[in-house]
Structure 1
Amino acid sequence: MKTFEYAPGRSVDLYGETGAPVVLLWHGMQTDSRAAVRPLAERVAEHGYAVLAADWNSHAADNGRSDLLTSARYAAEQPGAGDGLIVVGWSMGGAAAAGLTFGAVGYGVRIAHTVCLAGAFMAPDPISGDPLTPPSAAGARVPMTLVHGSADDVIPVTAGRDFAAEAGAAGWRVQYIELAADHANIVGARYDAAADRYEPADDAASLAVAAEVAGIVAKPPVR
């Protein structure tokens, strides 16, 4: 793992080798918590990807818009991004990933596949600030995979199910997958109640879930 800056003072960790197909991975609402998604990033990289896990600040005045768009454009400039980014977002990062996908043309970012993990779709899009309502696909070619844990007690599974149905009705190519996972271990994280933070997990069960999710990210989307 190597750490770089995608903008002054804003960090991103690279897992895997430069030049491999690029996966951009966004953590959730917790500010600058790229370390929490390290187990998932490591396992996706094992499938032959260059994974960029970027910090972003949902509590900034712009709700993280600048961090999200700047990190996306940084990822898009990497050598392996020529065929488009795989954008993976967890929780609020999942909402941001969906928002980036819906507005990709306007944002100037090419996306090959979007994966939302336990997406907080009931919240406003952190990028636009608007309600996260799937627009008409109108010829958009970006497939989306929504993954939710059946034991998630933070974002209810109905959020993923309902959003998948809404996006599908709007013409988006959506695959919905439900796993035996909770809100944290879907990315290989654990919740530290004393610190009120998500941290990378090290137990076998959580890492097994992260490996399963990595396989979903690495698998070509349903066309």
Structure 2
Amino acid sequence: MPEHELATTSLGKSVDIYHPEGVTAPAAPTVLLWHGSGPDERDVMEPLARAVAAQGVVVLVPDWRADAADGGQAELLDSLAFARDHAADGRLVVAGWSAGAPAALGVALRPETAGGRRPAAVVGIAAQYDRPARTTGTVLFDDLAAGRTADVPVPVRLVHGTQDTLEDVAYSRKFRAALVEHGWAAELTEIPADHAGSIMTEYDPAAHRCRESRDPAVREAGAMTARVIAETALGI
């Protein structure tokens, strides 16, 4: 059973840290997992984070606010700095769901935004990639077209639900093709899930937020996302 502790970034944002029992970073690879555009919704990522941590990975889930004046950039980059301090050996994967996904890809394409260092790998979950990334303010497709490629491109894994009506799976298919065209090692895993189901949750319209799902089919689909993240982290 993964253990849990709470920490705080330098900007005062809460960070949930999930790790296998008796194991902490940097003894295990570390994943920084960003939630979507809902303000301070790190709790939404808990089911997925626990599922990843159960496979031998330390997972950090910070709060951030897309409704901040800078779109959340400062808080996202601050949490990245926090994660790097925990992943002292450099085994850091940056992953994100929905609006968090292009934010994660942004720091790989534009490392100068984040101190000139790329993560070891990136995972994007259920996202649209033709909007400005919250970390860079630029569109990922534009960055690729402008030659924003790495000498040794970092691995990219994309996950998208085929039942997603909020962000169609075609967005990830198109982005993967663009990455490959520009020399990036990119894979797409399609799962039988909607937008919320890709992270083991379901949308609660009364609460206007996602909640953990108990539906076995949803949990199994989300478990596929967790496996992709864990395999990416353990493989670096």
| Shared fold (TM-score, shorter chain, > 0.5) | yes
Task: Give the corresponding residue for 1:4.
Answer: 7
1:10-159 matches, within 5 Å, as 10-16=13-19, 17-19=23-25, 20-78=28-86, 80-108=87-115, 109-133=117-141, 134-135=143-144, 136=147, 137-159=149-171
Task: Give the corresponding residue for 2:209.
Answer: 197
Indicate how the Cα distance of structure 1 residues 220 and 198 shifts in structure 2: closer, same or farther if over 3 A, else same. closer
User: Structure 2 length as normaliser, TM-score?
Assistant: 0.88
1:69-108 deviation digits (Å, cap 9, x = unpaired): 0001100111x44133111100100010111111125522
SS at match of 2:122: strand
Q: Is the CA contact (8 Å cut-off) linking 1:35 and 1:200 kept in structure 2?
A: no
Q: Is the CA contact (8 Å cut-off) linking 2:193 and 2:221 kept in structure 1?
A: yes
Unaligned runs of 5+ in 2: none
1:5-41 deviation digits (Å, cap 9, x = unpaired): 0124301100004222110000001111011111110
Indicate how the Cα distance of structure 1 residues 116 and 81 shifts in structure 2: closer, same or farther if over 3 A, else same. farther
Q: Is the CA contact (8 Å cut-off) linking 1:22 and 1:81 kept in structure 2?
A: no
Q: Which moved more, 1:38-47 or 1:17-26?
A: 17-26
Q: Which moved more, 1:213-222 or 1:126-135?
A: 213-222
Q: Could you tell me how far apart the structure 2 residues matched to 1:57 and 1:130 are? A: 18
**C-alpha root-mean-square deviation of aligned residues, in Å?**
1.8
Q: Which moved more, 1:101-110 or 1:84-93?
A: 101-110
Q: Could you tell me how far apart the structure 1 residues matched to 2:231 and 2:203 are? A: 28
Deviation at 1:152, TM superposition (A): 0.3
Task: Give the corresponding residue for 2:227.
Answer: 215
What is the one-letter code of the residue matched to 1:5? Answer: T
Indicate how the Cα distance of structure 1 residues 47 and 81 shifts in structure 2: closer, same or farther if over 3 A, else same. farther
What is the one-letter code of the residue matched to 1:208? Answer: E
What is the one-letter code of the residue matched to 2:182? Answer: A
Task: Give the corresponding residue for 1:179.
Answer: 191
Q: Is the CA contact (8 Å cut-off) linking 2:107 and 2:113 kept in structure 1?
A: no
Q: Could you tell me how far apart the structure 2 residues matched to 1:220 and 1:149 are? A: 19
Q: Is the CA contact (8 Å cut-off) linking 2:11 and 2:78 kept in structure 1?
A: no
Q: Which moved more, 1:54-63 or 1:133-142?
A: 133-142
Deviation at 1:220, TM superposition (A): 4.0
Indicate how the Cα distance of structure 1 residues 91 and 83 shifts in structure 2: closer, same or farther if over 3 A, else same. same
Deviation at 1:140, TM superposition (A): 3.2
Q: Could you tell me how far apart the structure 1 residues matched to 2:200 and 2:189 are? A: 17
1:160 matched to 2:177? The reply is no
Indicate how the Cα distance of structure 1 residues 56 and 48 shifts in structure 2: closer, same or farther if over 3 A, else same. same
Unaligned runs of 5+ in 1: none
Indicate how the Cα distance of structure 1 residues 164 and 106 shifts in structure 2: closer, same or farther if over 3 A, else same. same
